[in-house]
Amino acid sequence: MIHTTNLSKRFGSFTAVDGIGLDIARGEIFGFLGANGAGKTTTIRMLCGLLRPSGGTALVNGYDVSKQSEKVKLSLGYMSQKFSLYNDLKAIENLQFYAGIYGTPFPTALEYTMPLMRLFGLESSLHALTGSLPMGFKQRLSLVCALVHDPPLVFLDEPTSGVDPQARREFWQVINTLAQAGKTVIVSTHFMDEAEYCHRVIVMQQGREVAMGRPADLKTRYQVVNMQELFIKLVGDGYA
């Protein structure tokens, strides 16, 4: 689903991403771990076709992100780190807007997302102004909007930031269901316990790969008992 070779991004003299190589399969939950400024979000934005790479290559769902960025964007769902829905629209109007962006008939989008909205408890809030919803419900709505067109690939940039433990559990139920259905899910997170739920992870620091592999294999390789210890051992406790 995703293949990159020596993927890099520079902003002037600053190198934000430095030679990242990835091979991510269909149906895989792949996690990006790293402190703020490690290059996670920049890498994800390149893979989404939102930033043009400075060097290297990236194929996403068979499309070259440098030459076919519009096709890349249409084949994926993206939930950004920053809340990006329209607060002055009703929740259902935001859904309708995103369905229109992706060219999906609204009845089809509703049929596909209704089970997810029931799981998230959003049905009773569909006609409320989005700005009036609690942050946890806004995050839930953001995820639903990212899935309105039933994409094969989903990018979730710190999706559980600012939500309660119950919502975090619900998010990961949905993520696992998506992967079981054959969708590839890319997640960036600061929560090391969430990294345990990923099939594989990459740990980044200063734009570079520090380690990559299955959580269980990485814990064995570095002789630690959990991902928090692994992260501290790899990047230092000043980043934890």
Cα-only R_g, the chain: 18
* Predicted pLDDT at 240: 42
Retrieve residue 88's tokens.
């002055």
Instruction: Enter the pTM of the model.
Output: 0.91
CA distance 9 to 139: 29
Does residue 2 lie in a domain region? no
* 130 phi and psi angles, rounded to 5 deg: -60, -40
Does residue 4 lie in a domain region? no
Does residue 16 lie in a domain region? no
Residues in the chain: 240
Domain hosting 191: range is: 27-41+75-239
3-state secondary structure of 129: strand
Does residue 58 lie in a domain region? no
CA 71 vs CA 47, 50, 95, 107: distances in Å: 12, 12, 21, 24
CB neighbours (10 Å) of residue 231? 26
Does residue 143 lie in a domain region? yes
CA distance 30 to 1: 11
Does residue 215 lie in a domain region? yes
pLDDT tens digits in sequence order for the chain, 240 residues long: 999 999 999 999 999 999 999 999 999 999 999 888 899 989 999 999 999 999 999 999 999 999 999 999 999 999 987 788 999 999 999 999 999 999 999 999 999 999 989 988 899 999 999 999 988 889 889 999 999 999 999 999 888 877 778 888 888 988 999 999 999 999 998 888 889 999 999 999 999 999 999 999 999 999 999 999 999 999 875 444
CA distance 202 to 142: 25
Quote the number of domains for the chain.
1
* Predicted pLDDT at 90: 97
Question: Domain of 210: which CATH number?
Answer: 3.40.50.300
Which stretches within 102-214 are classed as H helix? 106-120, 135-146, 165-180, 192-195
Does residue 171 lie in a domain region? yes
Does residue 20 lie in a domain region? no
Please enumerate in sequence order all residues whose Cβ is within 8 A of that of 197, keeping only pairs 6 or more positions apart, or say none.
29, 172, 175, 176
CA distance 38 to 111: 39
* Predicted pLDDT at 237: 59
